[in-house]
Amino acid sequence: MSDQLEKIVDVIYQKICAKLKGMGYIEIEASGRHVHLSRKVIDELFGKGYQLTNIRSLSQPGQFVSAERVTLIGPKGQLSNVVVLGPERAHSQIEVSKTDAKILGVNAPIQESGKIQGTSPIEISANGNKVQLNQGVLVAERHIHMSLADAERLALKDGDRVDVEVSSDRPVIFKKVNLRVSDQYDTYMHIDYDEANACNLTNKTFGLIIKK
Ligand SMILES: [Zn+2]
């Protein structure tokens, strides 16, 4: 495709996306396994005062993919090359899929991200250093980040539970999706890789809220 044609296709595509969003469709992103680390754990793994290297911004403002990678060590198995997301957080949190949890041999609960009470312990290694965490592993509950403007337009509020139908060649209805509304958010739905594979998620897949 010529550069000019590619640009035209891109403009048309952006317009279609904007139109879909105006109709209440929500773009869906799959979150792969990742960790959020506290200052203390970053110090222990990478060295005192170490700063994470931002290599790519994520859809939510301020969040980024770092260049740093860790290995998760569970009672049954390990997962290496796990991405560290920034910025650092008050509490370390390890987000995996149920499939990952089985590989590691941990009983990770399905919970809202940020709520680490009752989550599983894990050992993390990086850089030849190891840290034992007594909690932090969870399977993030499927959720939608929504801007205030979109929530108002769709008559939704923070904490609502909605059903979302995914339009793909393997259609799925995700029930009771946790809606989180904030002026800090851009509107996107987040699911994990097990859920993404269940609906054969590809780049730029949209879902429609069918029940409030
Ligand atoms: Zn999210």
Alpha carbon of 127 to ligand 1 centroid (Å): 28
Q: Give residue 181 CA to ligand 1 midpoint distance, Å.
A: 11
For 47-87, write each residue's pLDDT tens digit.
999 999 999 998 888 899 999 999 999 999 999 999 999 99
Give the whole-angstrom CA distance, residue 150 versus residue 172: 23
What are the residue boundaries of the structural domains of the chain, listed by start? 22-30+142-211, 32-140
Given a contact cutoff of 8 angstroms between Cβ atoms, the answer to whether 71 and 125 are in contact is yes
Q: Residue 11 is inside which H or E element, if any? A: helix 3-22
In the reported structure, the alpha carbon of residue 117 is separated from the centroid of ligand 1 by a whole-number distance in angstroms of: 18
CA of 187 to the centre of ligand 1 (A): 10
Tens of pLDDT, residue by residue over 176-211, are: 999 999 999 989 999 999 999 999 998 878 999 987
Percent of the chain with pLDDT over 90: 76
Å from CA of 195 to ligand 1 middle? 14
pTM: 0.86
Residue 144 Cα to ligand 1 midpoint, Å, equals 7
pLDDT at 21: 81
SS (H, E, C) 22-35: HCCEEEEEEECCEE
Task: Report pLDDT for 1.
Answer: 66
- From residue 129, alpha-carbon distances to 34, 80, 124, 166, 192 in Å are 18, 14, 8, 42, 28
CA Rg value for the chain = 19
Q: How far is the CA of 143 from the centre of ligand 1 (A)?
A: 6
Are 96 and 111 in contact by the 8 Å Cβ rule? The answer is: no
- Does 6 or 53 have the greater pLDDT score? 53
CATH number of 22-30+142-211: 2.40.40.20
